[in-house]
Amino acid sequence: MRLLFIGDIVGRAGRAVLLDNLPKLRDAWSLDCVIVNGENAAGGFGITETICADFLAAGADCVTLGNHAFDQREALVFIARQPRLIRPLNYPRGTPGRGANLIETASGARVLVINLMGRIFMDAMDDPFAAIEHELAACPLGAGCDAAVVDFHAEASSEKQGFAHFVDGRVSLVVGTHTHVPTADHQILPQGTAYVTDAGMTGDYDSVIGMEKEEPVRRFTTKLPVTRFEPASGPATLCGVAVELDGKGLATKIAPVRIGGRLSQARPDFWETI
């Protein structure tokens, strides 16, 4: 099975590079499943129903979220009727939407998609380690699903790494999101789970984590907010990871993906390039 995970879409520039490239990548790489983190897609803060629909129409099988999941108030309503939009599983009981879902792809594969949020330097959340145990008991890899992907939305690299080792061999991929900087530690863990600490953002890297530079720099130097944060609007880089799985749903290959914009370009050398 071939998976593509695309990191945090930031603003209009991020949406444009995703929508321009995803249909071509889906066809050229014969992808079975594409997962996109969309929590910064609407002006850098949250997601709207229209934007979510655009991502799904372009070829995403599922859209995950994070700490900005409900910044757009309409998400409180439409998330309940969109089963392919996944918010963090460890939000408190009663939060609208779902934190995991079994997605059947066009190729017939059953992919369990789980979104979790870390707790170090983040808002107080339920325990992500306990939450994943419950979910994997209900839908184990190889029995309940053909693949299992966890978007672990967290600040601390230690928490992301610890979580990945905790589920090694029980999920196909643990991919970190939230910090908006692609890390170079993509690897396959000893028991067969693919891992990267952060997939990076899909947005303009001539910025401060996707935002126009002036206001963040001003706040760092003066501690005074003057204007609201606005997403940078220059040429964007599509960032993510490509993963190939064996018949048991464990990883055999992983590679970074970086297309367009300012960053050095990267494509998986184990698939036909475009």
Q: Above 70 in pLDDT, residue 274? A: no
Closest CA to 238 of 2, 26, 1: 26
What pLDDT does 107 receive? 84
Q: What is the CATH number of the domain that holds 229?
A: 3.60.21.10
Q: How are beta strands 100-104 and 110-117 bridged, if at all?
A: antiparallel
The residue segments making up the domain with residue 175 are: 2-259
Is residue 39 situated within a structural domain? yes
Amino acid letter, residue 248: K
Q: For the chain, how many residues are written? A: 274
Q: Which letter does DSSP use for residue 264 in this model?
A: P
pLDDT interval class at 273 (50, 70, 90): low
Amino acid letter, residue 24: K
Q: Is 38 in contact with 15 (CB distance < 8 Å)?
A: no
Number of domains in the chain: 1
Catalytic residue among 68, 178, 180, 186: 68
Is residue 32 situated within a structural domain? yes
Q: Round to whole Å and give the CA distance between 114 and 79.
A: 15
Residue 108: count of CB within 10 angstroms of its CB: 8
Closest CA to 189 of 254, 259, 131: 254
Is residue 266 situated within a structural domain? no
196: phi then psi, degrees, rounded to nearest 5: -150, 140
What's the farthest any 2 CA atoms get from each other in the chain? Answer: 55
Is residue 268 situated within a structural domain? no
Is 165 labeled as catalytic in the residue annotation? no
What pLDDT does 217 receive? 96
Give residue-wise pLDDT tens across range 227-269.
999 999 999 999 999 999 999 999 999 999 999 999 999 999 9
Is residue 270 situated within a structural domain? no
Question: How high does pLDDT run on average in the chain?
Answer: 96
Is residue 156 situated within a structural domain? yes
Give residue-wise pLDDT tens across range 96-123.
999 999 999 988 999 999 999 999 999 9
Is residue 272 situated within a structural domain? no
